[in-house]
Amino acid sequence: MSGKYCWFKPSHWGSRGFGMGRRRRKVIRVRRKRLPKIYLCPQCGKEGIRVELLRDQERATVRCGSCGLTEELPIMPAFEEVDAYCRFADRFYMRVTNA
């Protein structure tokens, strides 16, 4: 067919999906959420808690950069920073509610 009776030109067949082969599929990338590195301080309410894991000594140090709250916790080898922070927050709120 010539361009007179056809709404597309034969030179455009490959770029418009009329050529041989399949259409390319759109690549969908899955973005994974990362765990935070800085947490909320239960005492002062600011985002200033940093957790340092000492795996060889099986303990974690939790420190607030704003108010200076510090605590050392025993941990298991499989613990991550978020696990140590949760254990720290649980202990802190237990002391507050019991006092």
Interval 24-83: pLDDT, tens: 889 999 999 988 899 999 999 999 999 999 999 999 999 999 999 999 999 998 999 999
Structure token pair of residue 78: 């499989």
What confidence tier does 84 reach under pLDDT thresholds 50, 70, 90? very high
Please state the pTM of the whole predicted model: 0.66
- Mind listing the domains of the chain with CATH numbers? 35-98 (2.20.25.190)
State phi, psi for 33 to the nearest 5 degrees.
-80, 140
- pLDDT single digits (tens) 12-33: 555 555 556 788 889 999 999 9
Res 78: pLDDT: 92
Beta bridge partners of 62: 51, 71
Smallest Cα–Cα separation from 41: which of 50, 28, 30, 53?
A: 50
Say which range, 7-11, 52-56, 75-79, 89-93, has the weakest mean pLDDT.
7-11
Q: How many CB atoms lie within 10 A of CB 98?
A: 6
CB 53 within 8 A of CB 63: no
Res 97: pLDDT: 86
